[in-house]
Amino acid sequence: MRRVPWGALLALLVGIGLGLVYSWAISPPRINNAEPVSLRADFKDQYRSVIAAAYHATGNLPRVQARLALLKDSDPIDALNAQAQRMLASSETFERAEQVAALASALEASTSGVSHSTPTVEVANSLGITFTPTVLPSSSEVPILLTETLQAIETQPTIMETQTTAIESTPRPTSTPTSAPGEPFALSGQETICDANLPDGLLQVLVLNPNRRQLAGIEIVVTWDGGKEQFFTGLKPELGNGYADYIMMPDTTYTIQLARGSDVALGVIAPTCQSPGGESFPGSIKLTFQQP
């Protein structure tokens, strides 16, 4: 009967253990020049947050689309909306979550071809000369020629005259302009719901973009006599990215509006409903806001 070579097996196990310790703890492999698609999920979220902050500062949507394409998400808009929901649920800075949600809204609007006005920036230098350049969405690399006319000061009564300096830029092809993510919303629907299965006095709010796609991360402001509260869409993704709800107190009149700007729903109060057995209970109100 052959004996089991315990010494050889023990040496093999010790060798494997030492190799794992060396490769994992002492000298782990370092990956350089990895593509964004190979990042861990939390690092992908950080990558999207940085892209959203860059878009908030520059408005350069084509560059944003090129960077997001490196993640190879099946649906970049859904990925951004889902991240905005996670950021709000984890109590991250609302400004960062709003930037991510705004980028998702801008990407969605770009597919509809809705245009928006080109922003302008006023620049003043120490000589008192004012420039009013037109900022194009993708003109960060275009050389700009500035021609100035200095002040003319007379020796008699001191009179300073300045001329507006013209800014000329070389025309360059640009992508189709996109709609501004902060465009006001219209109150498109208000519905009374009598359902005994719903919580008493439930206020339901649904926020949609022009294509009736639900928007996450939208702040909703509810006020009443002596009080004010805010809540956000997207915190209950199982009910929809653009869904939010709030419990109304009995015999209290509320005013509801979106923080980004919208029609104001006035005189909102929990309706009185009756069950099949004739018992009264507070019903629900459903409000729908949509971008025009």
What is the average per-residue pLDDT within 55-71?
87
* Percentage of the residues of the chain whose pLDDT score is greater than 90: 24
Does one domain contain both 104 and 128? no
Does one domain contain both 145 and 70? no
User: In whole numbers, what is the pLDDT of the chain averaged over residues?
Assistant: 76
Task: Identify whether 196 is part of a domain.
Answer: yes
Residue with tokens 């639900």: 214
Q: What pLDDT score was predicted for residue 257?
A: 93
In the listed set 176, 198, 219, which residue is the last one of a domain according to the structure? 176
Residue 192 has phi, psi (to 5 degrees) of -95, 130
HSE of 84, CA atoms in CB hemisphere, 13 A: 32
Does one domain contain both 286 and 195? yes
Helix axes 76-89, 41-58, angle to 10 degrees: 100
The whole-angstrom separation of Cα 216 and Cα 87 is 11
Does one domain contain both 215 and 267? yes
Asked whether the beta carbons of 259 and 243 are under 8 A apart, the reply is no
Candidates 282, 271, 268, 270; CA nearest to 221 is 268
pLDDT over threshold 90, residue 204:
yes
pLDDT over threshold 90, residue 290:
yes
Q: What angle do CA 176, 177, 178 make, to 5 degrees?
A: 115
Q: What pLDDT score was predicted for residue 165?
A: 42
Q: What pLDDT score was predicted for residue 92?
A: 65
Candidates 263, 262, 268; CA nearest to 247 is 268
Task: Identify whether 209 is part of a domain.
Answer: yes
Number of domains in the chain: 3
First-last CA distance in the chain: 86
HSE of 286, CA atoms in CB hemisphere, 13 A: 10
Q: What pLDDT score was predicted for residue 277?
A: 84
- Encoded amino acid at 180, one letter: A
**Containing domain of residue 127, as a range?**
117-176
In the listed set 78, 94, 112, which residue is the last one of a domain according to the structure? 112
Does one domain contain both 155 and 98? no
Task: Identify whether 170 is part of a domain.
Answer: yes
What does DSSP assign to residue 253? Answer: -
Q: Which CATH number goes with the domain that contains 256?
A: 2.60.40.10
In the listed set 130, 152, 176, which residue is the last one of a domain according to the structure? 176
Task: Identify whether 26 is part of a domain.
Answer: no
Q: Please report which confidence band the pLDDT of residue 192 belongs to, taking 50, 70 and 90 as the band edges.
A: very high
Exposed / middle / buried, residue 198 (Cβ in 10 Å: 0-12, 13-18, 19+): middle
pLDDT over threshold 70, residue 133:
no
Task: Identify whether 129 is part of a domain.
Answer: yes
pLDDT over threshold 90, residue 46:
no
Q: What pLDDT score was predicted for residue 31?
A: 63
pLDDT single digits (tens) 101-118: 888 888 888 876 544 443
Does one domain contain both 49 and 130? no
Candidates 216, 221, 222, 220; CA nearest to 242 is 216
pLDDT over threshold 50, residue 119:
no
Q: What pLDDT score was predicted for residue 154?
A: 43
Q: What pLDDT score was predicted for residue 84?
A: 85
Task: Identify whether 143 is part of a domain.
Answer: yes
Does one domain contain both 145 and 208? no
pTM: 0.46
Task: Identify whether 64 is part of a domain.
Answer: yes
Does one domain contain both 122 and 105? no
pLDDT single digits (tens) 158-183: 444 444 444 444 444 444 433 344 56
